[in-house]
Protein backbone atom coordinates (compact mmCIF):
# COMPACT_ATOMS: atom_id res chain seq x y z
CA UNK A 1 0.00 0.00 0.00
CA UNK A 2 2.49 2.63 1.14
CA UNK A 3 4.64 2.08 -1.93
CA UNK A 4 1.92 3.78 -3.98
CA UNK A 5 2.27 7.08 -2.14
CA UNK A 6 3.87 9.96 -4.00
CA UNK A 7 6.44 12.43 -2.74
CA UNK A 8 4.89 15.70 -1.54
CA UNK A 9 6.45 19.11 -2.10
CA UNK A 10 8.32 20.38 0.94
CA UNK A 11 6.80 23.27 2.86
CA UNK A 12 8.69 26.41 1.87
CA UNK A 13 8.55 28.01 5.30
CA UNK A 14 9.69 24.84 7.07
CA UNK A 15 12.57 24.55 4.60
CA UNK A 16 13.45 28.17 5.29
CA UNK A 17 13.46 27.51 9.05
CA UNK A 18 15.79 24.55 8.55
CA UNK A 19 18.19 26.61 6.43
CA UNK A 20 18.17 29.34 9.07
CA UNK A 21 19.03 26.89 11.85
CA UNK A 22 21.94 25.52 9.81
CA UNK A 23 23.35 28.98 8.99
CA UNK A 24 26.40 29.59 11.27
CA UNK A 25 26.37 33.39 10.87
CA UNK A 26 25.71 35.27 14.09
CA UNK A 27 23.99 38.23 12.44
CA UNK A 28 21.42 36.18 10.51
CA UNK A 29 17.80 37.38 10.69
CA UNK A 30 14.71 35.11 10.59
CA UNK A 31 11.76 36.89 8.96
CA UNK A 32 10.05 33.76 7.70
CA UNK A 33 8.06 31.94 10.36
CA UNK A 34 4.94 33.80 11.53
CA UNK A 35 5.48 34.06 15.27
CA UNK A 36 5.97 37.13 17.44
CA UNK A 37 9.46 37.63 18.88
CA UNK A 38 10.52 40.12 21.53
CA UNK A 39 13.65 42.27 21.39
CA UNK A 40 15.73 39.28 22.56
CA UNK A 41 14.45 37.05 19.78
CA UNK A 42 12.25 34.97 22.09
CA UNK A 43 8.56 34.14 21.74
CA UNK A 44 7.49 34.71 25.35
CA UNK A 45 4.56 33.23 27.23
CA UNK A 46 2.26 36.12 28.09
CA UNK A 47 1.86 37.04 31.75
CA UNK A 48 -1.88 36.38 31.80
CA UNK A 49 -1.38 33.03 30.09
CA UNK A 50 1.10 31.97 32.78
CA UNK A 51 -1.32 33.06 35.51
CA UNK A 52 -4.25 31.30 33.85
CA UNK A 53 -2.28 28.07 33.46
CA UNK A 54 -1.31 28.15 37.10
CA UNK A 55 -4.94 28.62 38.10
CA UNK A 56 -6.04 25.77 35.83
CA UNK A 57 -3.35 23.49 37.28
CA UNK A 58 -4.48 24.30 40.80
CA UNK A 59 -8.24 24.16 40.25
CA UNK A 60 -8.86 21.64 37.48
CA UNK A 61 -10.20 18.34 38.83
CA UNK A 62 -10.67 16.33 35.62
CA UNK A 63 -9.29 15.77 32.15
CA UNK A 64 -12.54 14.26 30.88
CA UNK A 65 -13.75 15.18 27.40
CA UNK A 66 -15.49 18.45 26.74
CA UNK A 67 -18.47 18.51 24.37
CA UNK A 68 -18.09 18.16 20.61
CA UNK A 69 -18.27 21.95 20.25
CA UNK A 70 -15.74 22.53 23.02
CA UNK A 71 -16.11 24.35 26.34
CA UNK A 72 -19.16 26.68 26.21
CA UNK A 73 -17.27 29.33 28.22
CA UNK A 74 -14.63 29.42 25.48
CA UNK A 75 -17.01 29.68 22.53
CA UNK A 76 -19.11 32.28 24.33
CA UNK A 77 -16.05 34.32 25.28
CA UNK A 78 -14.66 34.24 21.76
CA UNK A 79 -17.99 35.22 20.22
CA UNK A 80 -18.02 38.27 22.49
CA UNK A 81 -14.37 39.10 21.76
CA UNK A 82 -14.70 38.89 17.99
CA UNK A 83 -18.29 40.04 17.41
CA UNK A 84 -19.13 42.16 20.47
CA UNK A 85 -22.88 41.84 19.90
CA UNK A 86 -22.79 42.44 16.13
CA UNK A 87 -25.20 39.52 15.60
CA UNK A 88 -27.80 37.98 17.94
CA UNK A 89 -26.38 34.97 19.77
CA UNK A 90 -29.35 32.82 18.85
CA UNK A 91 -28.25 33.12 15.20
CA UNK A 92 -24.67 32.02 15.93
CA UNK A 93 -23.37 28.45 15.89
CA UNK A 94 -19.79 27.88 17.05
CA UNK A 95 -17.27 25.10 17.60
CA UNK A 96 -13.77 25.04 19.04
CA UNK A 97 -11.14 23.85 16.57
CA UNK A 98 -7.44 22.90 16.54
CA UNK A 99 -6.13 26.37 15.73
CA UNK A 100 -7.24 28.85 13.11
CA UNK A 101 -6.22 26.37 10.42
CA UNK A 102 -8.67 23.86 11.90
CA UNK A 103 -11.38 26.52 11.80
CA UNK A 104 -10.68 27.18 8.11
CA UNK A 105 -10.76 23.46 7.37
CA UNK A 106 -14.03 22.90 9.24
CA UNK A 107 -15.57 25.98 7.61
CA UNK A 108 -14.68 24.74 4.14
CA UNK A 109 -16.02 21.29 4.93
CA UNK A 110 -19.27 22.90 6.11
CA UNK A 111 -19.48 24.80 2.82
CA UNK A 112 -18.88 21.59 0.88
CA UNK A 113 -21.73 19.88 2.72
CA UNK A 114 -24.12 22.80 2.32
CA UNK A 115 -23.22 23.97 -1.20
CA UNK A 116 -20.93 21.49 -2.98
CA UNK A 117 -21.02 23.45 -6.24
CA UNK A 118 -20.06 26.79 -4.67
CA UNK A 119 -16.85 28.48 -5.76
CA UNK A 120 -14.65 29.75 -2.94
CA UNK A 121 -12.95 33.02 -3.89
CA UNK A 122 -9.62 33.93 -2.30
CA UNK A 123 -7.48 37.04 -2.56
CA UNK A 124 -4.39 37.03 -4.74
CA UNK A 125 -2.15 36.76 -2.83
CA UNK A 126 -3.45 35.03 0.28
CA UNK A 127 -2.21 32.77 3.07
CA UNK A 128 -0.95 29.61 1.28
CA UNK A 129 -3.06 27.27 3.44
CA UNK A 130 -6.26 28.78 2.02
CA UNK A 131 -5.86 27.51 -1.57
CA UNK A 132 -4.05 24.39 -0.36
CA UNK A 133 -6.99 23.20 1.74
CA UNK A 134 -9.58 24.22 -0.87
CA UNK A 135 -7.77 22.20 -3.53
CA UNK A 136 -7.23 19.26 -1.18
CA UNK A 137 -10.98 19.12 -0.54
CA UNK A 138 -11.66 19.15 -4.29
CA UNK A 139 -13.67 22.37 -4.13
CA UNK A 140 -13.99 24.99 -6.84
CA UNK A 141 -11.74 28.01 -6.31
CA UNK A 142 -11.52 31.46 -7.84
CA UNK A 143 -9.15 34.35 -7.20
CA UNK A 144 -9.76 38.07 -6.94
CA UNK A 145 -6.95 40.57 -7.34
CA UNK A 146 -6.09 42.31 -4.09
CA UNK A 147 -2.59 43.80 -4.00
CA UNK A 148 -1.16 46.56 -6.15
CA UNK A 149 2.51 45.77 -6.78
CA UNK A 150 3.30 49.38 -7.66
CA UNK A 151 1.70 51.15 -4.66
CA UNK A 152 2.07 48.18 -2.25
CA UNK A 153 -1.51 48.84 -1.19
CA UNK A 154 -4.92 47.34 -1.95
CA UNK A 155 -5.86 47.34 -5.64
CA UNK A 156 -9.49 47.99 -4.81
CA UNK A 157 -10.78 48.65 -8.31
CA UNK A 158 -9.33 45.34 -9.52
CA UNK A 159 -10.74 43.55 -6.47
CA UNK A 160 -14.24 44.88 -7.09
CA UNK A 161 -13.98 44.14 -10.79
CA UNK A 162 -13.13 40.50 -10.12
CA UNK A 163 -15.78 40.11 -7.41
CA UNK A 164 -18.41 41.47 -9.78
CA UNK A 165 -18.15 38.10 -11.52
CA UNK A 166 -19.11 35.96 -8.52
CA UNK A 167 -22.33 33.97 -8.56
CA UNK A 168 -25.18 33.54 -6.11
CA UNK A 169 -24.14 31.09 -3.40
CA UNK A 170 -20.42 31.54 -3.95
CA UNK A 171 -18.21 32.09 -0.89
CA UNK A 172 -15.75 34.98 -0.67
CA UNK A 173 -12.88 34.48 1.76
CA UNK A 174 -11.84 37.79 3.36
CA UNK A 175 -9.11 38.70 5.84
CA UNK A 176 -10.68 40.44 8.83
CA UNK A 177 -7.55 42.50 9.57
CA UNK A 178 -3.79 42.46 9.07
CA UNK A 179 -3.92 40.82 5.63
CA UNK A 180 -1.53 37.89 5.29
CA UNK A 181 0.86 38.11 3.47
CA UNK A 182 0.68 41.74 2.38
CA UNK A 183 -0.19 43.71 5.54
CA UNK A 184 -2.47 45.95 3.41
CA UNK A 185 -6.03 46.38 4.71
CA UNK A 186 -9.30 47.64 3.25
CA UNK A 187 -10.57 50.98 4.53
CA UNK A 188 -13.94 51.26 6.30
CA UNK A 189 -15.53 52.70 3.16
CA UNK A 190 -14.10 49.90 1.03
CA UNK A 191 -15.49 47.29 3.43
CA UNK A 192 -18.92 48.90 3.00
CA UNK A 193 -18.63 48.55 -0.77
CA UNK A 194 -17.55 44.92 -0.53
CA UNK A 195 -20.47 44.11 1.76
CA UNK A 196 -22.91 45.85 -0.59
CA UNK A 197 -21.58 43.83 -3.52
CA UNK A 198 -21.83 40.54 -1.62
CA UNK A 199 -25.43 41.31 -0.68
CA UNK A 200 -26.24 42.26 -4.27
CA UNK A 201 -24.70 39.06 -5.63
CA UNK A 202 -26.17 36.77 -2.96
CA UNK A 203 -22.70 35.53 -1.97
CA UNK A 204 -21.61 34.35 1.47
CA UNK A 205 -18.57 35.91 3.19
CA UNK A 206 -16.10 33.80 5.13
CA UNK A 207 -13.86 35.96 7.32
CA UNK A 208 -10.48 34.74 8.51
CA UNK A 209 -9.42 36.82 11.53
CA UNK A 210 -6.12 35.53 12.89
CA UNK A 211 -4.47 38.73 14.12
CA UNK A 212 -7.04 40.64 16.14
CA UNK A 213 -5.14 43.07 18.35
CA UNK A 214 -1.98 43.09 16.20
CA UNK A 215 -3.00 45.96 13.90
CA UNK A 216 -4.86 48.97 15.27
CA UNK A 217 -6.13 47.44 18.54
CA UNK A 218 -8.61 44.78 19.64
CA UNK A 219 -11.77 46.74 18.87
CA UNK A 220 -10.49 48.42 15.72
CA UNK A 221 -9.23 45.11 14.31
CA UNK A 222 -12.62 43.49 14.92
CA UNK A 223 -14.59 46.31 13.29
CA UNK A 224 -14.64 44.92 9.75
CA UNK A 225 -15.69 41.44 10.86
CA UNK A 226 -18.48 42.99 12.92
CA UNK A 227 -19.62 45.05 9.91
CA UNK A 228 -19.90 41.86 7.88
CA UNK A 229 -21.67 39.95 10.65
CA UNK A 230 -24.18 42.73 11.22
CA UNK A 231 -24.99 43.25 7.54
CA UNK A 232 -25.19 39.73 6.12
CA UNK A 233 -27.88 37.10 6.52
CA UNK A 234 -25.23 34.39 6.53
CA UNK A 235 -21.55 34.49 7.36
CA UNK A 236 -18.72 32.19 8.42
CA UNK A 237 -15.90 33.39 10.70
CA UNK A 238 -12.67 31.54 11.46
CA UNK A 239 -10.69 33.01 14.37
CA UNK A 240 -7.36 32.07 15.90
CA UNK A 241 -5.92 32.59 19.39
CA UNK A 242 -2.37 31.65 18.36
CA UNK A 243 -1.08 35.16 17.87
CA UNK A 244 -3.01 37.46 20.19
CA UNK A 245 -2.75 35.05 23.15
CA UNK A 246 0.66 33.73 22.10
CA UNK A 247 -0.45 30.10 22.47
CA UNK A 248 0.70 28.86 19.07
CA UNK A 249 1.41 25.27 20.05
CA UNK A 250 -1.86 24.84 21.96
CA UNK A 251 -3.77 24.97 18.64
CA UNK A 252 -6.71 27.08 19.74
CA UNK A 253 -9.25 28.34 17.23
CA UNK A 254 -12.97 28.73 16.66
CA UNK A 255 -15.38 28.51 13.75
CA UNK A 256 -18.56 30.59 13.91
CA UNK A 257 -21.51 30.38 11.55
CA UNK A 258 -24.09 33.17 11.52
CA UNK A 259 -27.38 31.87 10.17
CA UNK A 260 -30.55 33.59 8.98
CA UNK A 261 -32.47 32.62 12.11
CA UNK A 262 -32.26 30.49 15.23
CA UNK A 263 -33.70 27.43 13.49
CA UNK A 264 -30.99 27.42 10.83
CA UNK A 265 -28.37 28.15 13.48
CA UNK A 266 -29.35 24.98 15.35
CA UNK A 267 -29.01 22.95 12.16
CA UNK A 268 -25.63 24.54 11.46
CA UNK A 269 -24.54 23.75 15.02
CA UNK A 270 -25.48 20.10 14.62
CA UNK A 271 -23.52 19.87 11.37
CA UNK A 272 -20.49 21.60 12.86
CA UNK A 273 -20.57 19.22 15.83
CA UNK A 274 -20.77 16.32 13.35
CA UNK A 275 -17.74 17.57 11.43
CA UNK A 276 -15.73 17.88 14.64
CA UNK A 277 -16.71 14.31 15.49
CA UNK A 278 -15.60 13.01 12.10
CA UNK A 279 -12.30 14.87 11.97
CA UNK A 280 -10.95 14.77 15.52
CA UNK A 281 -13.85 13.89 17.79
CA UNK A 282 -13.47 16.37 20.67
CA UNK A 283 -11.46 19.57 20.18
CA UNK A 284 -8.35 20.22 22.31
CA UNK A 285 -9.17 22.05 25.52
CA UNK A 286 -6.03 23.35 27.23
CA UNK A 287 -5.61 26.44 25.07
CA UNK A 288 -9.33 27.08 25.08
CA UNK A 289 -9.37 26.81 28.86
CA UNK A 290 -6.55 29.37 29.06
CA UNK A 291 -8.49 31.78 26.85
CA UNK A 292 -11.78 31.39 28.70
CA UNK A 293 -9.99 31.83 32.05
CA UNK A 294 -8.43 35.08 30.87
CA UNK A 295 -11.56 36.45 29.23
CA UNK A 296 -13.66 35.55 32.27
CA UNK A 297 -11.45 37.30 34.84
CA UNK A 298 -11.30 41.13 34.75
CA UNK A 299 -7.79 41.30 36.22
CA UNK A 300 -6.30 38.71 33.89
CA UNK A 301 -8.09 40.22 30.91
CA UNK A 302 -6.78 43.70 31.69
CA UNK A 303 -3.22 42.39 31.96
CA UNK A 304 -3.59 40.42 28.72
CA UNK A 305 -4.92 43.46 26.87
CA UNK A 306 -2.08 45.59 28.24
CA UNK A 307 0.60 43.13 27.11
CA UNK A 308 -1.09 42.67 23.73
CA UNK A 309 -0.99 46.44 23.29
CA UNK A 310 2.73 46.39 24.09
CA UNK A 311 3.22 43.79 21.36
CA UNK A 312 1.19 45.82 18.85
CA UNK A 313 3.04 49.05 19.55
CA UNK A 314 6.37 47.24 19.32
CA UNK A 315 5.56 46.06 15.80
CA UNK A 316 4.37 49.52 14.77
CA UNK A 317 7.61 50.98 16.10
CA UNK A 318 9.66 48.47 14.09
CA UNK A 319 7.65 49.29 10.97
CA UNK A 320 8.33 53.00 11.38
CA UNK A 321 12.02 52.44 12.15
CA UNK A 322 12.44 50.31 9.03
CA UNK A 323 10.60 52.79 6.82
CA UNK A 324 12.73 55.64 8.17
CA UNK A 325 15.96 53.69 7.73
CA UNK A 326 15.07 52.79 4.14
CA UNK A 327 14.09 56.38 3.35
CA UNK A 328 17.51 57.54 4.55
CA UNK A 329 19.52 54.83 2.79
CA UNK A 330 17.60 54.93 -0.50
CA UNK A 331 16.94 58.69 -0.52
CA UNK A 332 13.40 57.73 -1.52
CA UNK A 333 9.93 57.46 0.03
CA UNK A 334 9.04 54.32 -1.91
CA UNK A 335 9.29 52.12 1.18
CA UNK A 336 6.98 54.29 3.31
CA UNK A 337 4.22 51.70 2.75
CA UNK A 338 5.89 49.51 5.39
CA UNK A 339 4.83 51.97 8.11
CA UNK A 340 1.25 52.00 6.79
CA UNK A 341 0.82 48.23 6.65
CA UNK A 342 -0.58 46.45 9.70
CA UNK A 343 0.00 43.14 11.45
CA UNK A 344 2.97 40.82 11.39
CA UNK A 345 3.63 40.79 7.67
CA UNK A 346 4.53 42.99 4.73
CA UNK A 347 5.51 42.15 1.19
CA UNK A 348 8.33 44.41 0.08
CA UNK A 349 7.82 43.53 -3.57
CA UNK A 350 10.81 41.91 -5.20
CA UNK A 351 11.84 38.77 -7.02
CA UNK A 352 12.74 35.39 -5.53
CA UNK A 353 16.23 35.93 -6.94
CA UNK A 354 16.75 39.12 -4.92
CA UNK A 355 15.33 37.43 -1.83
CA UNK A 356 17.95 34.72 -2.33
CA UNK A 357 20.64 37.37 -2.78
CA UNK A 358 19.72 38.90 0.58
CA UNK A 359 19.90 35.46 2.19
CA UNK A 360 23.28 34.64 0.73
CA UNK A 361 24.92 38.04 1.20
CA UNK A 362 23.27 39.28 4.39
CA UNK A 363 21.75 36.29 6.19
CA UNK A 364 18.23 37.69 5.73
CA UNK A 365 15.68 34.87 5.66
CA UNK A 366 12.25 35.68 4.20
CA UNK A 367 9.76 33.77 2.04
CA UNK A 368 10.57 33.83 -1.67
CA UNK A 369 7.55 36.02 -2.47
CA UNK A 370 9.23 38.70 -0.26
CA UNK A 371 6.80 38.30 2.64
CA UNK A 372 8.63 39.27 5.80
CA UNK A 373 7.62 38.92 9.43
CA UNK A 374 8.04 42.35 10.99
CA UNK A 375 7.89 40.77 14.45
CA UNK A 376 11.10 38.90 13.66
CA UNK A 377 13.03 42.20 13.82
CA UNK A 378 14.43 44.25 16.67
CA UNK A 379 16.06 47.65 16.90
CA UNK A 380 19.50 46.19 16.13
CA UNK A 381 18.46 44.08 13.12
CA UNK A 382 16.33 46.73 11.37
CA UNK A 383 19.47 48.49 9.97
CA UNK A 384 20.80 45.12 8.75
CA UNK A 385 17.60 44.44 6.84
CA UNK A 386 17.44 47.97 5.43
CA UNK A 387 21.02 47.74 4.16
CA UNK A 388 20.31 44.32 2.58
CA UNK A 389 17.23 45.66 0.79
CA UNK A 390 19.11 48.64 -0.61
CA UNK A 391 22.20 46.63 -1.57
CA UNK A 392 20.03 44.08 -3.41
CA UNK A 393 18.45 46.95 -5.36
CA UNK A 394 14.94 45.89 -4.36
CA torsion 127-131-137-142 (nearest 10°) is 140
* Angle, vertex CA 184, rays to CA 183 and CA 189, nearest 5: 145
Phi/psi of residue 372, nearest 5 degrees: -125, 145
> 392 with 386: CB under 8 angstroms?
no
Is 208 an annotated catalytic residue?
yes
Q: Which listed residue (69, 86, 127, 259) is catalytic?
A: 127
- Three-state secondary structure of the chain: CHHHCCCCCCCHHHHHHHHHHHCCCCCCEECCCCCCCCCCCCCCCCHHHHHHHHHHHHHCCCCCCCCCCCCHHHHHHHHHHHHCCCCCHHHEEEEEEEHHHHHHHHHHHHHHHHCCCCEEEEEECCCCHHHHHHHHCCCEEEEEECEECCCCEECHHHHHHHHCCCCCCCEEEEECCCCCCCCCCCCHHHHHHHHHHHHHHCCEEEEEECCCCCCCCHHHHHHHHHHHHHHCCCEEEEEECCCCCCCHHHCEEEEEEECCCHHHHHHHHHHHHHHHHHHCCCCCCHHHHHHHHHHCCHHHHHHHHHHHHHHHHHHHHHHHHHHHHHHHHHCCCCCCHHHHCCCCEEECCCCHHHHHHHHHHHCEECCCCCEEEHHHCCCCCHHHHHHHHHHCCC
Q: Which listed residue (148, 208, 221, 369) is catalytic?
A: 208
Is 11 an annotated catalytic residue?
no
Q: Which listed residue (210, 238, 257, 288) is catalytic?
A: 210
Is 127 an annotated catalytic residue?
yes
Is 243 an annotated catalytic residue?
yes
> 198 with 160: CB under 8 angstroms?
no
Q: Which listed residue (243, 257, 265, 386) is catalytic?
A: 243
- Active-site residues, by number, are 127, 208, 210, 243
Amino acid sequence: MLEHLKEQPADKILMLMQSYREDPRENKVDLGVGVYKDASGNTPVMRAVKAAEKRIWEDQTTKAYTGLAGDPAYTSGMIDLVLSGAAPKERIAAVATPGGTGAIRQGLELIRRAAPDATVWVSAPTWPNHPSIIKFLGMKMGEYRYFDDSTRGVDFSAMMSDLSGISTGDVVLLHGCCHNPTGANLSDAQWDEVIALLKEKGAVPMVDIAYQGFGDGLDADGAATRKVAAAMDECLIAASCSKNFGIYRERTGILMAIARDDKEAKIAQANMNFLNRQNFSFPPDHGARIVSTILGDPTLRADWEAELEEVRLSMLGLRQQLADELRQLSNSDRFDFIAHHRGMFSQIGTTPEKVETMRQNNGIYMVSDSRMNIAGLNAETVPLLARAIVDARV
